[in-house]
Amino acid sequence: MPFDYEREVRTPQSEAYLILDGEQPVGRIDTHFMPGLAHVAIAVNPNLTAEQIEEILSDIDADMLNTVGTEHDTHHFHVFQGNEIRVFSNAGYDDYPGGNGNGRGHGPLSPPGAGS
């Protein structure tokens, strides 16, 4: 099943994408561009298979690395597999679905000092 990619951020030297399986987020891609070189960090959920990860790598190589209009002779892919624990932000997430109302993030962890 093909994945969809939703760009979250784009700068002259970097891009960040959410990896979607249908409407379900299953990972994130952070790419940083230098002359002749692209560093790509990919974080995916633990339930993705090696074949699915290879599909994501192929999609990145074929469709995403040249979107900033430059050629990159060398690509470094760093793949991490695990669960997102929490999103932290100084902007807060009080209005974000799943926000915990403390303005410090969202996710399954309790705020520091709140016990388990």
**pLDDT (tens digit per residue) in 52-110:** 999 999 888 877 776 655 565 788 899 999 988 877 666 655 545 554 444 444 444 44
First-to-last C-alpha distance (Å) of the chain: 38
The one-letter amino acid code at 39 reads: H
Domains of the chain: 4-81 (3.40.630.30), 89-116 (no CATH)
CA dist 81 and 88 (Å) reads 19
Position 21 pLDDT exceeds 60:
yes
Contacts of 81 (CB under 8 A, 6+ apart): 43, 44, 45, 46, 48, 53
Is pLDDT at 38 greater than 50 in this prediction? yes
The residue with tokens 């990919």 is 42
More confident residue, 106 or 8: 8
What pLDDT, on a 0 to 100 scale, did the predictor assign at position 64? 73
- DSSP-derived 3-state class of residue 48: coil
